[in-house]
């Protein structure tokens, strides 16, 4: 879409992050994938080994005339613990780190300012990595819209569904 923008966000398992971000009005597309590492064209098996440097991420395309970057960041940070280094719940490793990969310096400034304000809400340091996006690699097709296609799967019921319901229950949120 003309005028749309993109940002890449990682907050643990990409199934969780994608399921939360697609709830946001103005998000046009959320694609699960890998970024932030050195291995070219990584596979899920390679990334899950923790040796590629990549994180599980979601590339979010949004319409800035409908939703602002800060509103997307509100949902992103509400959907994971940004003070947990290299883990979210039972998912452990650098591939599950909290990371924001920015398309440009303007985005980076917004994200860094947001995190500085967010830090005041936490007693522990916010450890979210902020970096320039070098390359995004879409994940395999069976990882796309995983929650929407598998809502009765165990991980979806136990881990993702409570996050989605929490976000739906917040005033002003999806």
Q: How many domains does the chain have?
A: 1
- Is residue 131 in some structural domain? yes
* Mean pLDDT, the chain, integer: 93
Is 16 marked active-site? no
Q: Which domain holds residue 148?
A: 5-168
Residue-wise pLDDT tens digits, 40-84: 999 999 999 999 999 999 999 999 999 999 999 999 999 999 999
CATH number of the domain at 62, please: 3.30.1060.10
Give one DSSP letter per residue of 129-166, joined into a string: EEEE---EEEPPGGGTTHHHH-TTSHHIIIIIHHHHHH
Residue-wise pLDDT tens digits, 120-153: 999 999 999 999 999 999 999 999 999 999 999 9
- Is residue 121 in some structural domain? yes
- Is residue 174 in some structural domain? no
Do residues 167 and 75 touch, judged by C-beta distance below 8 A? yes
pTM score: 0.92
């Amino acid at each position: 879409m003309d005028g749309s923008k993109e940002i890449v966000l990682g907050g643990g398992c990409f199934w969780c992050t994608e399921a939360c971000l697609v709830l946001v009005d103005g998000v046009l597309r959320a694609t699960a994938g890998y970024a932030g590492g050195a291995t070219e064209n990584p596979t899920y098996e390679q990334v899950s080994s923790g040796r590629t440097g990549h994180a599980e991420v979601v590339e979010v395309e949004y319409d800035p005339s409908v939703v602002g970057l800060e509103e997307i960041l509100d949902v992103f940070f509400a959907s994971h613990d940004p003070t947990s280094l290299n883990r979210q719940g039972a998912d452990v490793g650098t591939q599950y780190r909290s990371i924001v990969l920015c398309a440009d310096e303007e985005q980076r400034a917004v994200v860094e300012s947001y995190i500085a304000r967010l830090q005041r809400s936490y007693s522990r340091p916010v450890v979210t990595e902020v970096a320039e996006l070098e390359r995004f690699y879409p994940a395999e097709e069976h990882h796309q819209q995983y929650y929407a296609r598998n809502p009765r799967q165990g991980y979806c019921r136990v881990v993702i569904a409570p996050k989605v319901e929490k976000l739906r229950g917040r005033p002003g949120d999806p």
